[in-house]
């Protein structure tokens, strides 16, 4: 079963990696403030990778930076609902979600490569 168009669009526009998605879903579970070190320990990655992904989520307006770390704060209820649906889909159909993330990355890479392609006048 395919993902909904809203989830696919969300992933393509706002999530660059599986690690970033896992951090988002971790912080979206509650209202806690997470440090990169705590998220890294929970998810099995380095604090540096977690920190870079938190910054990306801040840029995407999905989390906010606070003195003690980062907190889930989507900009609107629609985004909150999409993230909730995405968490359910990731739990039930992880491979489908991962495929969408990598497909979006592949498309971005193709567009980047096309920018360097020489065109005949």
pLDDT in tens, 54-90: 999 999 999 999 999 999 999 899 999 999 999 999 9
Give the predicted TM-score (pTM) of the model: 0.84
Give 28-92 as a DSSP string: TTSS-EE-HHHHHHHHTS-HHHHHHHHHHHHHTTSEEEETTEEEE--SSHHHHHHHHHHHHHHHH
Distance in angstroms (rounded) separating the CA atoms of residues 89 and 117? 37
- Is residue 60 in a domain? yes
pLDDT in tens, 16-49: 999 999 999 999 998 899 999 999 999 999 999 9
- Is residue 30 in a domain? yes
Predicted pLDDT at 1: 65
Predicted pLDDT at 103: 79
Q: How many domains does the chain have?
A: 1
33: CATH: 1.10.10.10
Predicted pLDDT at 57: 97
Q: How sure is the predictor about 112, in pLDDT bands with cuts at 50, 70 and 90?
A: low
Domain that residue 35 falls in: 5-114
């Amino acid at each position: 079963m395919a993902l909904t168009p809203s989830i696919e669009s969300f992933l393509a526009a706002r999530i660059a990696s599986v690690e970033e998605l896992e951090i988002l879903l971790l912080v979206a579970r509650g209202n806690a403030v997470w440090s990169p070190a705590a998220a890294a320990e929970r998810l099995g990655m380095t604090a540096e990778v977690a920190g870079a992904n938190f910054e990306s989520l801040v840029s995407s307006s999905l989390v906010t930076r606070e003195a003690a770390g980062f907190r889930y704060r989507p900009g609107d209820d629609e985004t909150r609902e999409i993230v909730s649906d995405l968490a359910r889909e990731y739990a039930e159909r992880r491979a489908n979600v991962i495929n969408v993330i990598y497909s979006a990355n592949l498309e971005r890479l193709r567009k980047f490569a096309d920018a360097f392609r020489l065109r005949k006048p």
